[in-house]
Amino acid sequence: MDPQVIIIGAGIAGLTAAGALAEKGHHVLILEKEAQPGGHVAQWDRLFPSRRPGSEVLDHIRKIMDGRVEIKPGIRINGIIAHDQDFTVLTEEGTSYTGQALLIASGFRLFQAERKEEYGYGIYDNVITSAEVETVFKQGKKLLTSKGTLPQRVALIHCVGSRDEKVGNLYCSKVCCVTGVKQAIEIKEQLPQCEVFSFYMDMRMYDRHFEELYFEAQKQWGVQFIRGRLSECSEAPDQSLIIKTEDTLTGRPLRMIVDLVILLVGFVPEPETGKLVEMLGLSTGEDGFILPSDEHYNDNLTTVPGVFLAGAVKGPATISNTIADARAAALQIDSWLKTKP
């Protein structure tokens, strides 16, 4: 039997929407490019602001949909044909799936930090990304330098690949500020003797409990915040790193030797999603993320009837935002299927 709804992407947006649609009695199929569902959250250890394990949230979402939704992993889409009443998705393997509605929930990709060459990622072993920090924590390991020693001083660098005309990303990725604060606290939890510095342009603590987390980092954990953007990073002979920034509040250039540099990488559009955009004739903003048909009251709809959007395909989003958005998309799809002639 053909599914009624095909969802592209089995991250939290796709899984949440699938669960909500299944509860309404729709037959849902999820196509996922990776071998395992769960998206980025599956790679993440704990979530801001409460620092609960990411697996808790993911397990909850999966519990709703398990047994009611079919997931096809390892799928590469190479064509979508829009008919009058339905859509046919063609895969590289030669299979095809037809559904009456299509939900694009294919998410985002993390900024490739190598592109910011002067920061030294991929060149110096002790420059790592926030995603790698999560992997270390998730594996229950200690955060160590490339030599296997405990870092005495760590620098967290905000806005890597975000708010940066030089890499073509003018937008703010929204979640890196609070992720940086969360990771700073987690590092202090794990390594109390380690000095943790945060280099920021602006601290954007816009959502509920974010500011409190920032305050906690200062009050309880002694995380130090320096207002200045990293300009260059170089390696000392002992593989520690020399970072150059301006301490803008004293108005003087600042050099610091640190054992580990953590780059808080932002969101960029997933290139695979770009192909879907072309196949369906959707439009994107200058930032490369997909534009909904109306940013306020139709933000799960696209200009193509029957094609819906959920989550970070529309730009950087937190997990709670994404879940709410996916449920809203499910409602929209449900009513669209019901009013369909």
Partner 1 sequence: MINFNFFVLPFTLGLIYVFLAVGKSWYRWIAALPAIDKVKLTNGLKHPGKIAAALREIFLESLIHRKMWKQNPLLGYMHMSFALGWFLLIILGNIESRYYSGTHLNAPYYPIFLKFFIHDKLVLFFEVYSVPFLFRFFMDFLLIFILSGLVLAFLKRKQSKWFGMKKTTSHHFTDRVAITTLWLIFPMRLLAESYTAGYYGNGGGFMTQPLGNFLVSLTPLPSDFVAYTMWWCYSLVLGIFFVMLPYSRYMHIPTEILLIFFRHCGIQPKKWYSSFSETEVQSCSRCGVCLDDCPMIAAGIQDSQAVYFISGVRDRYVPEEISQKCLVCGRCQEVCPVGISTDSLRLIKRREITSGQASDFRYLTNGHSGKGDVVYFSGCMTHLTPTIILAMKGILTRAGIDFIHLDADGSVCCGRPLMIAGKDRQANELIEFNKTLIRQTQARMLVTSCPICYRVFREEYNLPIRIQHHSQFLLNLIKTGKIPLQGHFSKVAYHDPCDLGRGTKTYEAPRELIGKVADLVNVREEREKAHCCGGSLGMFEASNSQRNLMTKAALDILVENQPETIATSCPLCKKTLGRHASMAVKDIAELVYEAIPRE
Partner 2 sequence: MKDFGFTVQLDHSIDYDAKDKRMMRYVLYHEPSLDWCIGCGSCTATCSAGQFTLFNIRMAHTLLRRGETEKLKQELKKCMFCGKCQLTCPRGVNLRNVLLRINRAIELFG
Which is nearer to partner 1, 123 or 249 (by Cβ)? 123
Instruction: Name the one range near partner 2 by CB under 8 A: 131-139, 156-164, 184-192, 234-242.
Output: 156-164
Question: Which of partner 2, partner 1, none sits in contact with 275, Cβ below 5 to 8 A by type?
Answer: none
Helical (H) or strand (E) element with 274? helix 271-280
CB of 234 to partner 1, least distance (A): 6
Q: Which does 73 bind (CB under 5 to 8 A by kind): partner 2, partner 1, none?
A: none
- Residue 93 interacts with partner 2 (CB under 8 A): yes or no: no
Does residue 146 interact with partner 1 by CB under 8 A?
Answer: no
Asked if 67 interacts with partner 2 (CB under 8 A), we say: no
* Candidate list 95, 149, 220, 234; residue touching partner 1; CB under 8 A: 234
DSSP assignments along 136-184, one per residue: HHHTT-----TTSPPPSEEEEEEEESSSBGGGTB-S--SSHHHHHHHHH
Q: Across-strand partners of 243? A: 233, 256
Q: Does 244 bind partner 2 (CB under 8 A)?
A: yes
Strands laid side by side in the 252-258 sheet:
232-235, 241-247, 252-258
* Sequence-ordered strand ranges (E) for 161-305: 195-200, 224-227, 232-235, 241-247, 252-258, 260-265, 267-269
* Contact partner at residue 120 from partner 2, partner 1, none, CB < 5 to 8 Å by partner kind: partner 1
- Our finding on whether 23 is near partner 1 (CB under 8 A) is no
Site mask for partner 2 (CB under 8 A), range 180-209, x = bound: ---------------------xx-------
Least separation in angstroms between residue 116's CB and partner 1 is 10
Binder of residue 229, out of partner 2, partner 1, none (CB less than 5 to 8 A by kind): partner 2
Decide: 37 and 73 in contact? Cβ < 8 Å.
Answer: yes
Side by side, the strands of the sheet bearing 69-72 are: 69-72, 28-31, 5-8, 101-104, 307-309
Strand partners, 234: 242
Residues linked to residue 246 through DSSP beta bridges, in sequence order:
253
* Nearest of 15, 65, 78 to residue 42 by alpha carbon: 15
Footprint on this chain of partner 2 (rule: CB under 8 A): 118, 159, 163-166, 201-202, 227-232, 244-248, 251-254
Footprint on this chain of partner 1 (rule: CB under 8 A): 115, 117-118, 120, 123, 165-168, 232-234
